[in-house]
Amino acid sequence: MSSHLNAVSIEDLRLKAKRKLPRCIFDFYDGGAEDELTLNANRQSFQNVMLTPRILRGVDKVDTRVDMLGETCGLPIAIAPTGALGYGKHGADLAIAKAAAAKGLIYTLSSSATTSIEHIAREAPGRHWFQAYILKNKDFFYSLIDRAQAAEYEGLMITVDLPVGGKRERDNKNKFAIPFKLNSRVALDFLAHPFWLGELIYNGMPVLENMVGLEGQNRGINHLASSVGRNYDPAFNWDDLKRIRDYWHKKLIIKGVMHPEDAVRLMEMGCDAVVVSNHGGRQLDTANSTLSALPTIVKAIDGKIPVLLDGGIRRGSDILKAIALGANGVLTGRATLFGAISSGQPGATHALNILQEELVRTMQLCGVSEINQITPELLFN
């Protein structure tokens, strides 16, 4: 039996990923900044919101379709950008992209993915957004945008909450680095996970393919992987974003918005959607949870552009709660990551199936049969 099939929840897939990976690799994906208060708050906020179901409303047929930036999606879900997946599972980026395409969902490719812009477009045809980190090397940065344009990506997602990297203490304690810095503890941990290690040896060290050439073609790929974070541009500002808006003529989505005034300014600049996100709790610890930040941003935007929520989605009921508080949809990153690490594309598909089935069941139990029927009245006050 495939290892993902007996997983009945995203948490089950998370635990399977934990067993498959060396601790330092799992913690890199699973962990957050400093005391991980924001990481945990993202989940706790959903758990603190309770539901008030309605009854006798005829919910034998449930329609989960939504408009997602101009086209219908079968679920109010898009795949969040997640980097360096190849260190956990060879081909994980493509596996998730194919799983998303099969369900008609938007897949967002990270700048720091281990699969190239062009490979995703060619091997997983569907709806694609490309997520760009702001790099100091603007010629290289704009070359990535040009590549996404040439590959016919329909949306560009700019991550604006990462002027500098966060302090991820799990990584520090594990002495996690790329290239790997082996000591006796790390070496023993690698040897204790022979299937992961064998796959790594067989396929070779993953490459952050979109970043090749960032610091010169003659640099080693391991040096490249370890240096990307040092290339973020803390000087990036509103004028710089306006230049990107003028340069990119398709959909522009801004990820990392936590304040309503920022959301309004982005809308007025002509951005097509905002993503309420605190980077999964991986950068600024003690930042507000995304679900708590959502209502004020929704109120400020007042329906003029879509508002998406990222961070902490682990249950179908989480999706319903986000929509009830005004989100037009959600992004999920770790859920499909855990699935892909468990079993590649079938595992990623299973993660999406879990969320879909839970969303449908939660809608039925709450007495709603269409996404537009999910309103604040379902929330317990």
Q: Count CB-CB contacts under 10 A for residue 265.
A: 15
- What mean pLDDT comes out for the span 370-380? 98
| Helix axes of 316-324 and 334-366: crossing angle, nearest 10 degrees | 70
Per-residue pLDDT tens for 333-352? Answer: 999 999 999 999 999 999 99
Per-residue pLDDT tens for 114-170? Answer: 999 999 999 999 999 999 999 999 999 999 999 999 999 999 999 999 998 899 999
Name the pLDDT band for 222 (thresholds 50, 70, 90): very low
The residue written with tokens 């996690």 in the block is: 176
Q: Residue 95 is encoded by which pair of tokens?
A: 């596996």
Q: What is the pLDDT of residue 74?
A: 96
- What mean pLDDT comes out for the span 11-37? 97
Catalytic annotation, pick one of 90, 128, 193, 279 = 279
Strand pairing category for 128-132 and 155-159: parallel
Question: Nearest to residue 232, comparing CAs of 134, 370, 321, 111?
Answer: 134
Q: How far apart are CA 294 and CA 322, in angstroms?
A: 8
The pTM of the whole model exceeds 0.75: yes
Question: Nearest to residue 79, comparing CAs of 89, 64, 93, 59?
Answer: 93
Q: Residue 230 is encoded by which pair of tokens?
A: 């040092």
Q: Is 249 a catalytic residue?
A: no
Question: Nearest to residue 43, comparing CAs of 311, 282, 286, 340?
Answer: 311
Angle at 292 between CA 167 and CA 159, to 5 degrees: 50
Q: What is the pLDDT of residue 3?
A: 61
Residues in the chain: 381
Question: Nearest to residue 85, comparing CAs of 230, 260, 206, 241?
Answer: 206
Q: What is the pLDDT of residue 229?
A: 61
Among the residue ranges 66-80, 94-108, 220-234, the one predicted with the least confidence is 220-234
Q: What is the pLDDT of residue 182?
A: 78
The residue written with tokens 């973020």 in the block is: 232
Q: What is the pLDDT of residue 224?
A: 41
For the chain, give the mean pLDDT: 94
- Do residues 350 and 5 touch, judged by C-beta distance below 8 A? yes
- What mean pLDDT comes out for the span 371-377? 98
DSSP three-state, residue 86: helix
Strand pairing category for 77-79 and 329-332: parallel
Strand pairing category for 273-276 and 251-257: parallel
Domains of the chain by start residue, with CATH: 10-50+70-354 (3.20.20.70)
